[in-house]
Amino acid sequence: MFGCCLLQQKNLRVLRTTNMLALLTESLYISNPDEAAILNKVAFIEDIAQGHVNGSVKCFSLKKKKVDENQYHTVIKGDTVPKLAKEYGSKPKAGTSLMMTMSLRVTRSCM
């Protein structure tokens, strides 16, 4: 079905119980000291992440969508769930919390 992907049949729970298209990858092993050292390098992690994006796009024949910036809110340090709920005319669910240490874009439909 996906010519670009190496398909393997294993008796793994994640494969048996997932009922959707999925891509399972293994980049390196932290149990290998040489590979664990490489995983400490931010540039390498970014390259791996970009490789996963490129592979997913190819494997699933994904097409880039036009993004309406008005559909997103950038969550920044200091934002709280009650503050965002008030801004968007919503009420937070009991027990919902938010602690931001970096910026995050979320769809407005999630709020």
| pLDDT tens by residue, 74-101 | 777 788 877 888 887 877 666 666 554 4
Both 17 and 39 in one domain: the answer is: yes
The percentage of residues in the chain with a pLDDT greater than 70, rounded to a whole number, is 72
Closest CA to 102 of 72, 75, 73, 80: 75
User: For residue 28, what are the β-bridge partners?
Assistant: none
Both 51 and 21 in one domain: the answer is: yes
Both 74 and 105 in one domain: the answer is: yes
The count of domains in the chain is 2
Residue 71: alpha-carbon gap to chain centroid: 18
State how far the Cα of 22 lies from the Cα of 29, in Å rounded to an integer.
21
Both 51 and 85 in one domain: the answer is: no
Predicted structure pTM score: 0.47
Residue with tokens 């008005």: 70
Look up residue 5 and give its DSSP letter.
S
Containing domain of residue 55, as a range? 13-59
